[in-house]
Amino acid sequence: MRAEYDFSKGKRGALIKQKGKTRITIYIDDEVLDEFRSRAERAGIGYQTMMNEALKTFLSTKEQPVTEAVLRQVIREELPVLPLTKRSTRPTKKRRTG
């Protein structure tokens, strides 16, 4: 064993980089976590796997293009409701003056 080692070119982090998944720290409401744990136990899978699948499903539904039906619903929700006024369906005639 050497008396000293040179770590000047050393890098922090895992020695072997894993592909596909990253370890993170996240805060989840206790109620949400309890529900995922109980559902995962009933389904016979891990709760983290179930949470990952739920996030994937959410992301895949949000990436779809806006359809005509969704656009109409948003317009109905966002525009104010104006009272209906009586309008004639006949074209108006211009009056000549003079």
For the chain, which residues make up each domain, given as ranges?
30-78
- Is pLDDT of 91 > 70? no
pLDDT on residue 40: 94
- Is pLDDT of 1 > 70? yes
Q: Give the pTM.
A: 0.47
Dist. CA 33–CA 39, nearest whole Å: 10
- Could you write out the three-class secondary structure of the chain? CCCCCCCCCCCCCCCCCCCCCCCCCCCCCHHHHHHHHHHHHHHCCCHHHHHHHHHHHHHHHHCCCCCHHHHHHHHHHHCCCCCCCCCCCCCCCCCCCC
20-69 pLDDT, tens per residue? 888 889 999 999 999 999 999 999 999 999 999 999 888 887 666 778 88
50 vs 11, residue with greater confidence: 50
